[in-house]
Amino acid sequence: MKLAARVAQVTPSLTLAISAKAKAMKAEGIDVCRFTAGEPDFDTPSHIKEAAQRALEEGKTKYGPAAGEPQLREAVAQKLQRKNHLNYEAENVIVTNGGKHSLFNLMQALLDPGDEVIIPAPYWLSYPEMVKLAGGKSVMVATAAERDYKITPAQLRERITPQTKLLILNSPSNPTGAVYTPEEIRALAEVVVEKDLLVVSDEIYENILYDGAQHLSIGAVSSEVFERTIVSNGFAKSFAMTGWRVGYIAAPVELIKAMTAIQSHSTSNVCTFAQYGAIAALEGSFDCVEEMRQAFAQRRQVMLERLNAIPGVSCPQPNGAFYLFVDISKTGLASLDFCNALLDTQQVAAIPGIAFGADNCVRLSYATDLTSIEKGMERLEKFVMQYGN
Ligand code: PLP
């Protein structure tokens, strides 16, 4: 069969490959410590599940508007006004099948062949693939551990060309956990306005912050940057709703209309009753979000302390999300070899940094229990010691 040329350009997900291998080992009864999860290990809070159950009982089981249930679009706009100081109305919001689908649709609606998208590296592995699938060109900007993996305004300015259309900003970041300070966001916003770029702010981890870190949505900096901002967010990470597949984009109406047209010919509306769960998430108590955040904070501390006590690996202290991005250069191994050997010999699963554009690192998720973290760090230490550090 001759497949479309675009398929050959897509890189298969390394995250899924290693996770699948670890899962298969676990199913065989092997005691695997899995640090691969890109999702909270908690169940969805009960008031959210109950709202979806009620919606099912009330017959919210039919097709709905492609852009989302009006009540959810309104609740999202209210949340963006209240929490993020962004002046959106319901018409500025489209509900999507998760944050991933938001960004995929966005690239389809925005990019023409040859348009350039600036992506700070390390990056979430789906960004470049989405850009490629829309015919665009990714322009990676390397960041360093010493600068907490954040790009500077000067670096951004340097990479802008007449073809630059969009900057992707992801704070808190997957895979590094880096959080841009409000000052850093303001400095990047200046360049966005000066160079007349669009910026998509992927804020899916906005509620998972530590040590007093503050999340500033770039569109809140000024009306000039607000006009150029697209906010991408979802319910998966904050509310432990990864399987529900509900996300959203907020943006100028023209873009929302374009994305709705694409969505109406692809997925149509997001699962109707799931959207009622999402409404309950936004309108209910945020205590559940805070409880999960506190659990992540404790795990982060334990993992970080254990990890930084191992000679030969290092990791800056991240202020958000639930990942540690660990520098393994001193072992002399490439990240995929490191992860395969770690899984085969010590039964510890991690994601190779090459998937995120950094072959000298691996990503460890601490969205797992403390016992596994303690055990996994002991095994990791044994593994790293073999490499003479
Ligand atoms: N953005 C980032 C940075 C992510 O890490 C993820 C999930 O891993 C997403 C977006 C998409 O999340 P979802 O499609 O589950 O809402």
Q: What is the pLDDT of residue 387?
A: 85
Ligand 1 centroid to 244 CA: how many Å?
13
Q: What is the pLDDT of residue 306?
A: 95
DSSP state of 388: T
* φ, ψ at 370 (rounded to 5°): -65, -35
* Residue 296, both tokens: 């992540």
Q: Which helix (H) or strand (E) holds 116?
A: strand 116-121
Residue extents of the structural domains in the chain = 5-30+287-387, 61-283
Ligand 1 centroid to 309 CA: how many Å?
31
343-346 contact pairs (CB < 8 A, 24+)? 343/18, 343/21, 343/22, 343/25, 343/32, 345/383, 346/379, 346/380, 346/382, 346/383
Q: What is the pLDDT of residue 11?
A: 81
Ligand 1 centroid to 241 CA: how many Å?
11
Ligand 1 centroid to 350 CA: how many Å?
18
| Residue of the CA atom closest to atom 12 of ligand 1 | 99
* φ, ψ at 221 (rounded to 5°): -70, -45
Cβ neighbours of residue 2 under 8 Å, at least 6 residues apart? none
Ligand 1 centroid to 100 CA: how many Å?
5
The correct CATH number of 61-283 out of 3.40.640.10, 3.40.920.10, 3.40.50.970, 2.30.30.240 is 3.40.640.10
- Residue 140: CB atoms within 10 A of its CB come to 16
Q: What is the pLDDT of residue 389?
A: 56
**Residues whose beta carbon lies within 6 Å of some atom of ligand 1:** 38, 98-100, 124, 170, 174, 202, 204, 234, 236, 242, 247
Three-class DSSP category at 238: coil
* Position in ligand 1 atom list of the atom nearest CA 173: 3
| Kind of pairing between the strands at 116-121 and 137-142 | parallel
- Rg over CA atoms, the chain: 21
Nearest to 221, CA basis, from 192, 253, 196? 192
| 156 within 8 A of 188, measured Cβ to Cβ | yes
What sign does the dihedral 365-371-374-375 (CA atoms) show?
A: negative
Domain 5-30+287-387 sits in which CATH superfamily?
Aspartate Aminotransferase, domain 1 (3.90.1150.10)
Q: What is the pLDDT of residue 17?
A: 81
Crossing angle (nearest 10°) for helices 46-57 and 272-283: 140
Ligand 1 centroid to 224 CA: how many Å?
27
Q: Which helix (H) or strand (E) holds 63?
A: none
Pocket test for ligand 1, best of 44, 203, 204, 322 (most atoms within 8 A of CB): 204
* Position in ligand 1 atom list of the atom nearest CA 39: 8
* φ, ψ at 179 (rounded to 5°): -125, 125
Per-residue pLDDT of the chain (389 residues; tens, 9 = 90+): 999 998 888 887 777 788 889 989 999 999 999 999 889 999 999 999 999 999 999 999 999 999 999 999 999 999 999 999 999 999 999 999 999 999 999 999 999 999 999 999 999 999 999 999 999 999 999 999 999 999 999 999 999 999 999 999 999 999 999 999 999 999 999 999 999 999 999 999 999 999 999 999 999 999 999 999 999 999 999 999 999 999 999 999 999 999 999 999 999 999 999 999 999 999 999 999 999 999 999 999 999 999 999 999 999 999 999 999 999 999 999 999 999 999 999 999 999 999 999 999 999 999 999 999 999 999 999 999 998 65
* Position in ligand 1 atom list of the atom nearest CA 38: 8
- Residue 11: CB atoms within 10 A of its CB come to 10
* Residue 261, both tokens: 């047209």
Three-class DSSP category at 369: coil
Q: What is the pLDDT of residue 240?
A: 97
Q: How far apart are CA 103 and CA 152, in angstroms?
A: 23
Three-class DSSP category at 212: coil
* Position in ligand 1 atom list of the atom nearest CA 103: 10
Q: What is the pLDDT of residue 221?
A: 98
DSSP state of 45: P
| 326 within 8 A of 364, measured Cβ to Cβ | yes
Cβ neighbours of residue 169 under 8 Å, at least 6 residues apart? 120, 180, 188, 199, 200, 201, 202, 218
* Residue 98, both tokens: 């998760």
- Concatenated DSSP letters of 126-176: HHHHHHHHTT-EEEEEE--GGGTT---HHHHHHH--TTEEEEEEESS-TTT
* Position in ligand 1 atom list of the atom nearest CA 242: 15
Q: What is the pLDDT of residue 16?
A: 77
